[in-house]
C-alpha cells in the first residue's frame, strides 16, 4: 500500500487505540484424546506483528481462537496489558479478526459490512458514516462502497474484511490465514499492503499462516509450532540462518539436513567427507543443516564429495539441482545456483563442498 489517500491520514492513525501487549501463559487445550496445545507461553509486545507458522494440525489456529475468546482453555491464561481475559467473552475483548473466507454478509454492501461492528456498538450514524468512509479510504476501496461482495474480487473482499476489523478500533488485530484463498499475485500484493498498514497504525497483530514465505515477508517475529508446542521463536532472519531444530530447519525455507558422525577429534563427517576441521560446540552431534545456496560445487576433479546431478528445475532467476552423493546414494543434496552459472546436465559428475561457516548443528 502506497499510503493513505487523504490528507487526514495522520488524524486517522492517531484515532486508533494505543497498541496493546499480549501475553500467553502455559496454554493447553485438548479435544478428547488429542492434545492440540501442550503448554504454550509467549509474549507479543506492543505494536508487533507476530506469525504463528506451522503445518496443519500443529495448534496454531486453536491458539489464535483461544486468544480471540472463541475457544476455552483447559489450562493457562491470556493477558492483555496484564489483564486476565479468561472471564471476558469474545465480543467484549475488542479484538478485530479477519478470516480466511472473508466472512462478509452477502446482502450488505462494502460500506454496510464495514459498519457492522460499529452498529453493534451503538455508534451514532454521523460518526459511523465518517468512520466507514475513513476505513474504506484506508484500504483504498472508496469507489467500492456500494458494491455487494459478489461484485468484488477476492482481494477487494479481503480488504473490506480488514477495514471492518479495524473500524471498531481494536486493541489487537487477529488474522486467520487471511491470504490463503487468494491467487498468488493478489496474495503477494495484499501481504505487502497489510504489513505497511500494520506498521503505519502500530497495531499489535497476530497472524496464522502455513506459508513460510508469507511469514518471512510479513512478520517481526515468527513462532514455529509443531504438535501443540513451540519449536522456536525468532525474527525471520534468526529462524532462517540459525534454526534450532531439524523441524524448523526443514520447515522454514529449503534446507539440506545431513546425518553426520563425530570423530574422536570432534570433527564431523558426512559420507566419509570431513565437514568441519575442528570440534563443534554441540557434543554428540548427529545432524547438520546447510541451505541450498550455501552449498559450493566443483565441476572438475577436486577434494569435494563426489556426486551426480539427478534432477534440475529451472526457476528463472535461479536453477535448483538435486545431487546424489556417490558414497551415500540414499541421500540427496539440494543446490541452488543463480542465473549466469554454467548449466549442468542431468548425470553430470560434480564435487560438493559444505563451507563450515554455513553449517548449523541441529538439536
Mean pLDDT on 271-294: 78
Q: What is the per-residue pLDDT for 303?
A: 85
Stretch 278-305: mean pLDDT: 81
Residue 7 or 231, more confident: 231
Domain boundaries, the chain: 9-241, 254-362
Q: Which residues pair with 225 in a beta bridge?
A: 230
- Return the pLDDT at 11: 42
Q: What is the mean pLDDT of residues 347-356?
A: 93
pLDDT of residue 107: 96
pLDDT digits (tens, 9 = 90+) for 176-219: 999 888 888 889 999 999 999 999 999 999 999 999 999 999 99
The C-alpha angle with vertex 186 and arms to 183 and 187, in degrees rounded to 5, equals: 75
Mean pLDDT of 217-237: 96
Lowest mean pLDDT among 53-67, 148-162, 258-272: 258-272
SS3 for the chain is CCCCCCCCHHHHHHHCCCCCCEEEEEEEEEECCEEEEEEEEEEECCCCEEEEECCCCCCHHHHHHHHHCCCCCCEEEEEECCEECCCCCHHHCCEEEECCCCCCCCCCCHHHHHHHHHHHCCCCHHHHHHHHHHHHHHCCCHHHCCCCHHHCCHHHHHHHHHHHHHHCCCCEEEEECCCCCCCHHHHHHHHHHHHHHHHHHCCEEEEEECCHHHHHHHCCEEEEEECCEEEEEECHHHHHHCCCCHHHHHHCCCCEEEECEECCCCCEEECCEECCCCCCCCCCCCEEEECHHHCEEECCCCCCEEEEEEEEEECCCEEEEEEEECCCCCCCEEEEEECCCCCCCCCCEEEEECCHHHCEEEC
What is the topology classification, in CATH, of domain 9-241? Rossmann fold (3.40.50)
pLDDT of 262 reads: 84
Which pLDDT belongs to residue 15?
A: 39
- For residues 226-255, give the mean pLDDT: 93
Q: What is the pLDDT of residue 267?
A: 83
Model confidence band, residue 52 (pLDDT cutoffs 50, 70, 90):
very high
Q: Note the CATH number of domain 254-362.
A: 2.40.50.100
Q: What residues does 30 pair with on adjacent strands? A: 35
292 in Cβ contact with 335 (< 8 Å)? yes
Mean residue pLDDT of the chain comes to: 89
Confidence grade of residue 283 (pLDDT, cut at 50, 70, 90) = low
Distance CA 255, CA 125 (A): 55
pTM of the complete model: 0.86
* pLDDT (0 to 100) of residue 83: 92
pLDDT value of position 111: 96
Q: What is the pLDDT of residue 86?
A: 87
Confidence of residue 350 (pLDDT cuts 50, 70, 90): very high
Q: For the chain, what percent of residues have pLDDT higher than 70?
A: 92
- pLDDT-above-90 percentage for the chain: 71
Amino acid at each position: 500500500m502506497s499510503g493513505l489517500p487523504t490528507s487526514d491520514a495522520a488524524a486517522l492513525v492517531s484515532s486508533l487505540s494505543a497498541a496493546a501487549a499480549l501475553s500467553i501463559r502455559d496454554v493447553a487445550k485438548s479435544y478428547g484424546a488429542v492434545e492440540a496445545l501442550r503448554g504454550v507461553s509467549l509474549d507479543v509486545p506492543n505494536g508487533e506483528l507476530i506469525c504463528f507458522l506451522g503445518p496443519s494440525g500443529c495448534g496454531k489456529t486453536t491458539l489464535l481462537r483461544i486468544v480471540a475468546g472463541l475457544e476455552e482453555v483447559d489450562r493457562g491464561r491470556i493477558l492483555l496489558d496484564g489483564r486476565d481475559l479468561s472471564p471476558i467473552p469474545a465480543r467484549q475483548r475488542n479484538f478485530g479478526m479477519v478470516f480466511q473466507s472473508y466472512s462478509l454478509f452477502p446482502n450488505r454492501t462494502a460500506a454496510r459490512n464495514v459498519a457492522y461492528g460499529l452498529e453493534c456498538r451503538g455508534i451514532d450514524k454521523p460518526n459511523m458514516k465518517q468512520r466507514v468512509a475513513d476505513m474504506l479510504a484506508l484500504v483504498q476501496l472508496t469507489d467500492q462502497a456500494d458494491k455487494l461482495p459478489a461484485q468484488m474480487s477476492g482481494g477487494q473482499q479481503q480488504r473490506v474484511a480488514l477495514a471492518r476489523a479495524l473500524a471498531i478500533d481494536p486493541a489487537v488485530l487477529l488474522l486467520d490465514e487471511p491470504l490463503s484463498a487468494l491467487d498468488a499475485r493478489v496474495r503477494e500484493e495484499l501481504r505487502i499492503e497489510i504489513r505497511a498498514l500494520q506498521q503505519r497504525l502500530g497495531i499489535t497483530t497476530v497472524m496464522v499462516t502455513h506459508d513460510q514465505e508469507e511469514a518471512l515477508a510479513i512478520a517481526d517475529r515468527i513462532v514455529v509450532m509443531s504438535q501443540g508446542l513451540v519449536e522456536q521463536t525468532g525474527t525471520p532472519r534468526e529462524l532462517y540462518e540459525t534454526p534450532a531444530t531439524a523441524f524448523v530447519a526443514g520447515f522454514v525455507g529449503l534446507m539440506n539436513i545431513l546425518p553426520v558422525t563425530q570423530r574422536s577429534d570432534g570433527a564431523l563427517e558426512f559420507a566419509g567427507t570431513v565437514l568441519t576441521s575442528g570440534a563443534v560446540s554441540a557434543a554428540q552431534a548427529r545432524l547438520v543443516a546447510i541451505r541450498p545456496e550455501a552449498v559450493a560445487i566443483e565441476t572438475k576433479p577436486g577434494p569435494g564429495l563426489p556426486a551426480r546431478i539427478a534432477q534440475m528445475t529451472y526457476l528463472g532467476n535461479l536453477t535448483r539441482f538435486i545431487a546424489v552423493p556417490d558414497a551415500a546414494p540414499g541421500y540427496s543434496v539440494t543446490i541452488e545456483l543463480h542465473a549466469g552459472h554454467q548449466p549442468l546436465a542431468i548425470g553430470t559428475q560434480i564435487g560438493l563442498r559444505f563451507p563450515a561457516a554455513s553449517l548449523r548443528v541441529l538439536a
